Each structure stands twice: as structure tokens, then as C-alpha cells.
Structure 1
């Protein structure tokens, strides 16, 4: 018999007198058939010591029925546990020699009374202290690592190990900050006693019934419910969107608090048996966890597919990925493999649905055939919508790399070097994903090219292309796309914008520039000067009238354009005007030839590209500064 176990048989200690009723039998007496056997002496003595306390707390008696042993006196509760353990050992020892002994029946009857008491106590502690044993409190009590590494407290060491805590908790337990720890310790004392004495099933049933209801109720309160495929299929998107938002919050709370806290409590209370811990936690958490992790699969398989809904699917995919380590750690038992499998299945189904939605977005771009012309060559709504969509997708680049990792990107040959810097993608941390985004933007640019052909004014078509490509580049530069497409890509697009601008200037303003002499200071006859002024007036007025309808939403592009055009026209015109104005002014019949002063030309050019004042152009994506009308323009 273990040394510690001998302490329960304190009558056998040499400290007791060697004569009288408590004197231990001699060896000859133990072997004598006329005297009680050693096991009978043990059972007699143990019954004599345990019966008063066990019967005192018989739950069927009037007083004990309405009181709580652990609440009334934790010191006595521990003594009760100690007595029950001693009785069980003595009963087991005696049963090996005489299974039909009356004393054995009496001891078994006491054991049944004790177990009924402990079942009652166990139920009361779990029920009354739900607030102190809620998963959030458990998550804050301790980490599972620190708890699980604690060795099981021997039933014979309870009083020695816990005297200090019992003394603190005895009369003023409400003042103890870690009340939850004390409650957990009481639960563990009871579970270890009941499981060691053969009452594991009774203990587990009480524990599972109460704790499972807490998990199931918490999952429901978090807004997650079990839905059928037909329910999801018929559900309006607004309702489904709210349910997905609830689910996203629920996953975080469930993994960080709910299941984590429950696992901590289960690991602590049933620390003495891995099998019991597994059975307990699995049965408590399985239904709630399966409801939680089956939801994304049902949504992915049965909700109506559309490109704009992909972001909710990506949110769910991201949430599972971010909590995957917690899922594996919390549901690590073999019996919980079905939970891990369900979470993985949802991840796979979400990935498939996301790939489908992205393919539909690509198809919708390819099929876009609107011939609508944007007034003033402004930003097309297709570009705004498509870029907003692509930018949001880029924010999910981490998970998209996993989702699209096995998808074949467009071949390099299908991405023209004039559009994209292929080398940049090879150096990207996710080259396949970079190709995917490059391909989407290329489709968009090709659509812009086809839309530009609907402009009758070719100069306006080039301005339309410059405006829209500038919008795309700005959006790329200000988003995560910058890292996916690379600096070289942006540089190439900047070069294309410059070409579009030069073509616009050449087609829209060349006749104005050509109306002025190459050498404005050259000697000319009054008639020649007069013809040049007339030619300039006509060409400038015509160009300004046409180009004043144009809009350039990007302020930098707008300023660059105005400066570039002004530099090509204003200095030459000013020199010509200053050189020859006197000759025209002196001829009273020719004074009307000068319509524009140089400052008028400057003002008119500076107020270009805001669109017509009366139009309130909806294509502008930037606010337009105030404008003034030159005094000479009628």
C-alpha cells in the first residue's frame, strides 16, 4: 500500500496505544481463524469513521436536502471527499476477500449515499456559478497550457496542498479575486473522487448537460443558427448579408472565448484522465462547432452567385484562415476531427465559390458592350466600378494567393509588353496573382480602346483614354495593387498617358499653333499681320469652343495639359502681338482684327478642362475650381 494511503488507516499508527480497543492485532491474531480478518478490521474501522459524516450529508435527509456541503464549509467538504476515498479503498480491499459480507453491503450503501451527495454538489456548483464559469471568465482565468501541465491532485493531498486557499476562501470567498479558480478546484475534487470510485458516467452526464446548454445558447445568441440549403437559396441577400456579418463576429468570439474557455475548464476539471477530458469537451462543443463551421459551406453552395457578393465570401474565408491555428489547437482530439474536417470543407467550398464569382466578373468585363459616350471625355462609369472592385480584391491578396494559386494565369504572351511589365510579376511575392490582376486591368483597357472609337472627334477620344488611364494609375498607386503590379507597370502606363496627351494636343490644338508664324518678330506687311490675326482668331475660337466642353478630372493632368498647351501658344502669340499690334491699331479699319489680348488667351486656356458650366458634368470625379469668363470672349 502506498505510503500516503497509510495515513487513512490512522489507527495503525505507532502513535496510538498498543492496548485497549484501538490496539492493532498481532500477527498471530490476524492469522487466527477465530478472530476477524484484516480486511474486516479495515472495513469496520473505515465504516465507523465515515458513517457519521456521510449520513450527516445524506441528500435525502431534511436538513442536508436544502443545504450545500461545499457552500457551508469547504474544509468539511474536503474531509468528506477524503472519507469517501478512504471508504472506497477499504471497500475495494474487502471485496477481494469476501464479496458477500454484510459489512460490504453496508459500505456500499454508504458509498451510494456519498455519491448522491456529490452528484448534488456537482450539479449545484455548476448551476449556481454559471456566471463565474462562463467561457469568457475561463479564458481570463488561465491559459490551457498552464492548466494542463498541472498534475492531478491526489485525493490524499487535498488538505495539505489546499489549506492556505481554504483558509482564505472559507468565510470571505467573495473577497477573493480568483473566485473562478476556487470553484474550478471544487469541481475537480468532486470529479476525481467520483471517477476514481466508478461513478464517471454520472459525473459526466451532469457536466455535459449543463455545459452543453451554455455552448448551444451562446452560439444561438451570437446569431448563428442551423440553416437548410433551401432556406439559404430562398433568402434575400440583405438578410443573408446580416447573417454573414453575425457569423464573422461569432467565429472570433467562439474561437477566442467560447470554445477556448470551455476547453480550459474541461481540461482543468478532468485533468486526471485524457479520455474523460476528450469525451467531455467533444460532446459539449461538437453540435455548436458543427453549426458554426457548416454555415459557410451552405452559403457558398446555395447562395446566388454574383461578383459583388464575393467580398462576403472572402471575409468568411479569411476568418477561417485567421482562426485555423485556434481551430486545430482547440479541437485537437481525434474525436473532434469531424469539426476540423467541416471547417476545411467550408474553406474549400468558399474558395470554389470565390473563383466562380471572379470568373463571372471577368466575363462581365469581356461582354461589356455599351456604346455610351462620356461627355467631355471624362471617366467612364465602367472604369470607376471595375477599379473599385479590383482594388477591394487586392486587399484580399493574401487569401487570394491561396484561392487562385492552382488556377492557371493568362499566358505571358497574352499580356502585351506595351501594357504590362512582365518582369515585375516574376519578382512579385505572388506572381500568379499579379498576372490575374494584370489580366483584369488589360481587359478593362481594351474595353476603353473600343469605347474611344465611338468619339467622332479623335482628339477627344485621346483625351478620354488619357483621363481613364490616369484614373486607373492613380487608383493602382494608392492601393495594394501598387505592390502587385510594380513600379515598372506604373511607369509604363505613365508613358502611355503622355502619348495620349501628345496626340490630343496635336489633333486638338495643332491648327491654332500652326496659325502663328514660326518667327513672330519677322518683318511683315500690315496685310500679312492682319491675315495672321484673323487666322489665329478663327482657329483659337474654334478650338476653345470645342475644347471647353472637355473635362479632365485629375487636377495634375489638368494642370499639365494647360501648361503644355499654353507654352506652345501663348509665348509666340504674345511676341507676335507685342511686335505688330501698333501697326494694326493705327489702321482704324483694322483695329477689330485683334480679338484676343495675350492675357485673354492665358485666361481662356487656364479655364479649360472643367467642362461646360451649365452641364454639371457627372463624369468629373474631382471638384472643379471656380472659373472666370474673359472679358473679350463673347
Structure 2
């Protein structure tokens, strides 16, 4: 062994006699590979230095080179991590850090340009319309496909979708690169600025305004109703297109970081969503009147229908305020609807108008209430939810006739059926009181028949038919007939009784003459009074006329044909026999149209033939 070598082995300097020095870093094979990666990254990063290149967009100019750029940045990040661990004092680390700053500056610019210049292709409608396409996630792989396969994929989507898908893939690639390089905040800041402006602008164009409760409360109903209509037209688009599209885009671009993804979507949409769902809550807190019921139900229905989407889109903890506001709006709207139902019932009960409808026709209260209730029936599904836990409490049991047979099995449906039936019962009770305002009892019955017929018709021709049931309709149709029979008995009995009950018994000329006179007086009095009376329903009108004609015309015809000649020959006085049997049909045909004038006039009617034919003779003229 050489002497020098022996000295080195056996005579090592003591620690106390010489300072400690770190061994110099030896350039390893790994260092060489890392340095080459830095050199390669320097070439492409310097080429696209924002301060030196004249080409505005790397991704627009050459997407393949753009992918190489991102790969170089990732390699640069790996090189930095290597030197931080192995040799933090290396000049190559400083060089890599400088290159990274230049690269991030370029990527920030590229990210902004893609968001800005592809705005029409990244609008929420375009994004949400093809969200289910699996190909979106693999757009960045187009370059890896064969020429035929790439052509097939391109042909399967429209040009708008293709551009949108490519832009989304590029944004995701840049975001992944920047987040992986520690520049996630810079990327997020750019995204929020651009996309929030789009959300706010879209909501503005949809007519969504930031209106506080004080301002809404002071609005005239006509103005507020227009605002509600605008909101109803906007909310479905806002939820299913705008917010849904933003959620898809945000989830896709920032899939690399759950935290960034949530933070991004929340900051972009929360303010607009709170403005959107705050409006119906404010409307619900305004003064309640029956006229606002249907718009309130429209608002409730819109939110209820969209709730699955709202819950899914805003399912982050940071967007819980949006979910809470939507639920609170539903609760408030439901409470408002219940209040208005109660107020509506009270308004019917407290109606104290003493005005008599001319001719015993349909009362305005009947028209208003039944139109209101039929509209309520169209909202039966929503109302079932609202009244499901709000049982009807009345002082006496609801009459059996107000239930369908069999009763609905569904509890919610049964609840709304009972409540609507109860409202109709409150109306009918009020009409009973209004019928007493007529001094003529027969007109009171005609009034009740007219109004109940109107109610039955409304039930039969609307959704109420399915809620209240056929059994209810049949029972109340029978009640209409009962009212009509009571009217006929009270109004026409005097005319019927003026004719002899048994024509087989002989009568003197004087008795016959007196009988004709009594009939003439009774018939003319009845006709004169009823000329101004009204039966609006054509079917009911004809049924009443036919019923009277069947009882009157045959009996009068028999009496007329037996004694007319005798009276005319024996008694010189004219005018005792004033009417031929067929004339009665003509007069009856004039009734119940609400007309006034000469009680002796004859007007033609489509019903005349049917009334006259009951006697078994052709239509005849009036005797002179």
C-alpha cells in the first residue's frame, strides 16, 4: 500500500482539529436527466413567453404543441421537487422556478382567453344540453385516436358541441396543470370573474331583479303579478339550464380539487340563487287576499317541481343557504295559501249583500265562488301537499253527500276533496239565505234551482268531478229537480186548479164560462210574472217548460174541445175563450229568457214545437 494511502487510513484528522465541510454534490445520472427536462421546458416555455411571442393563443394556434407545453410544465414541476429534495442550493432550481413563473403567466392568459373567446360555446345551455355525452371527458384524447375513429367522433356531435367539448377539455387541462403546480388560486380567480359575470348577466336578461321585501310590499298587485309571471318564466331556465350548466362546467374544469370545485361553484352562483329564491319568500310574506291565491300556488308549484334539481345542484355544505331558502319559500307559500283559503271561506260566510238577482238568475257570488273553486281544483296536486297536515275542523260533520263514493284512498287527495266540498257547502248555505230575500216563494225555488244547477255544471265540467265524485253530482242533480218541482207547484198550481178535475161531470154554461175566466186570469197572471224570470241553463229551462206543458196542455185541450163551441154559441160575450190549446205552448216558449213587454205577445221559439206536440195536434194559432 502506498504511504499516502496508509496515512489517510490511519491518521485521520480529529473533529476538533479541523472544520466540518459538506461533501460537494456529485452530478448524478438522475441530475442529467432532470437538467435535460429543464432545458426542454426552457425551449418551449421561452417560445411562448407572453412578453416575446406575437401569437396570441397557444391552444388556438397548435393544440398538439399546447399539450406538449403542459407536459413540459409538469416535468418542470417534477424537476423542482427533485432539486428541493436533493440539492436545494442548485442553480437549476432557481432556473426552474423562473421558468415556472413564466409558464404560469402564459397559462393564466390562455385560461382567460379560452373562457372569454369561447363564451358562446360555454354558455350553460350548450354545456347542459350535452352533459350526458361520455365523449366530453375524452376530447383531449382525439389526437390519440386513429384518423377514421377521430372522424367518427367528430361526426357524432355538432360543431357547437365539438367546440364546447374541446374548450372544456382545454380548460380542465390548464386547471389541472396550474393546481398541480401550486397556482390553483390564480386559476380560480380568473374563472370566478368570467363565469360570475355570465351568471349575473343571464339572470338579468331572464328578468330576475334584486328586490327587497319593503319594495315588493309596496307594489300594486298588477305590478307584482307581472313580476311573478316573469319569475315563473325564468326559474326553470335558471335552475335547469343556468345553474345546472355552471355546475357541470365547474365540476369538469376543477375535477382535480374537490375544495376548489366547491368554492368556485358556490362563489359564482350563490348570490344569484339567493336573489332568485328570495323573491317568492318575500311574495309569501305580503298581504294575503284571495285574488293572490293562484299566483301563490304557481310559485309553490314551480319550486316544488324543481326541488330535486335544486337539491342536487346545490348539494354542497357551502350552498346549504340556497337549499334552506328554497325550502323556506315553500313553507311560507304553503302558509300563505292556507291563510287565503281560510279568508276565502270567511268571505263567503260574511257576504251580506241584499241585492236580488233579477228573475231569480245565477247570483254573482255563485259565479265568483264556483269559478274560484274550479281553478283551485286544477291545483289539486299542489293543494293536497299544502293541506295534507291541515285537517278541516267544523262545528258539525260534513254531510255524507259531499263525499265521493267510494272515498279517495289517497289521504292527501281526500283532504283537498273534503275541503273543496266544504267550500261548496258554505256557498249553498249562503244561497239558501239569499233565496229568502224573494217575496215570491216560487221565485225563491227557481233561484235555488238556477244556482244549484250552475254549481253542478261547474263540478261536472271541471276537475272537481274527479275530486268530489259522481255520487255527489247525482245527489245534487236530484236536488235541482226537487227545487224545480217546488217552483212548479208553488207557481202553477193556481193555473192547474182553475181547470175542472173531472170533465165527466156535467157543467152548466155559467160554470163553464166561469172556469174559462178563472183559467184566463190565472194563466195570464202566471205568464205576466214569469215573463221576466230567468233560467239560464237551456236543459233545465226546457225541462221546466215541458213539465208544465205536460200537466197543463192536455187537460186544457180536453176542456177546450168539449166546451168551446157551446160557450161561443150560448154566450154572446167575446173574450171568454181567449186561448187555443196550442197557444199555451207558444206562451210557455217565451218564458225564462228574462224578457219584458206585452204579456199577450207571441215569440217564436225552437222549443214551441215540442210543447205543442204534447197535445197530439199540430201547432195552431191564437184564437181571436
Shift of 1:545: 0.9
- Which residue of 270, 285, 299 corresponds with 2:283? 299
- Which residue of 115, 123, 129 corresponds with 1:140? 129
* 5+ residue gaps, structure 1: 1-31, 616-623
How many equivalent residue pairs?
A: 584
Shift of 1:73: 1.1
Answer yes or no: is the 8 Å Cα contact 1:204–1:280 preserved in 2. yes
Answer yes or no: is the 8 Å Cα contact 1:521–1:575 preserved in 2. no
| 2:37 aligned partner | 46
Answer yes or no: is the 8 Å Cα contact 1:147–1:264 preserved in 2. no
| CA RMSD after TM alignment | 2.9
| 1:55 aligned partner | 46
Shift of 1:547: 1.5
Alpha-carbon spacing, 1:427–1:129, altered in 2? closer, same or farther (3 Å)? closer
3-state DSSP of counterpart to 1:414: coil
Shift of 1:39: 4.3
| 2:531 aligned partner | 548
How far does the alpha carbon of each residue in 1:355-411 deviate from its partner, in whole angstroms, 9 at most, with x for none? 111111111111101111111100000101111111111111111111111112135
Shift of 1:426: 5.6
Shift of 1:427: 4.7
Q: Distance in 2 between matches of 1:579 and 1:481?
A: 54
Answer yes or no: is the 8 Å Cα contact 1:505–1:565 preserved in 2. yes
How far does the alpha carbon of each residue in 1:412-434 deviate from its partner, in whole angstroms, 9 at most, with x for none? 943234x5247654656622211
Alpha-carbon spacing, 1:35–1:633, altered in 2? closer, same or farther (3 Å)? farther
How far does the alpha carbon of each residue in 1:73-96 deviate from its partner, in whole angstroms, 9 at most, with x for none? 111111111111111112212221
Q: Distance in 2 between matches of 1:305 and 1:177?
A: 48
How far does the alpha carbon of each residue in 1:572-619 deviate from its partner, in whole angstroms, 9 at most, with x for none? 11111112222122225145310011111111112211112469xxxx
| 1:200 aligned partner | 184
| 1:371 aligned partner | 354
| 2:4 aligned partner | none
Answer yes or no: is the 8 Å Cα contact 1:39–1:94 preserved in 2. no
Alpha-carbon spacing, 1:308–1:633, altered in 2? closer, same or farther (3 Å)? farther
| 1:290 aligned partner | 274
Alpha-carbon spacing, 1:428–1:57, altered in 2? closer, same or farther (3 Å)? closer
Does residue 603 (structure 1) correspond to residue 562 (structure 2)? The answer is no
| 1:88 aligned partner | 77
373-382 vs 265-274, greater mean Cα deviation: 265-274
Alpha-carbon spacing, 1:60–1:166, altered in 2? closer, same or farther (3 Å)? farther
| 2:103 aligned partner | 114
Alignment of 1:212-227 (within 5 A): 212-227=196-211
| 1:265 aligned partner | 249
Answer yes or no: is the 8 Å Cα contact 1:192–1:272 preserved in 2. yes
Shift of 1:557: 0.3
Does residue 183 (structure 1) correspond to residue 172 (structure 2)? The answer is no
Does residue 488 (structure 1) correspond to residue 471 (structure 2)? The answer is yes
Q: Distance in 2 between matches of 1:450 and 1:428?
A: 35
With structure 2 as the length reference, what TM-score do the two structures score? 0.88
Alpha-carbon spacing, 1:76–1:426, altered in 2? closer, same or farther (3 Å)? closer
Alignment of 1:66-81 (within 5 A): 67-81=56-70
Shift of 1:178: 1.8
Does residue 459 (structure 1) correspond to residue 450 (structure 2)? The answer is no
- Which residue of 508, 517, 527 corresponds with 2:500? 517
With structure 1 as the length reference, what TM-score do the two structures score? 0.86
Q: Distance in 2 between matches of 1:62 and 1:316?
A: 55
Q: Distance in 2 between matches of 1:633 and 1:338?
A: 87
Shift of 1:43: 2.6
* 5+ residue gaps, structure 2: 1-22, 599-604, 610-619
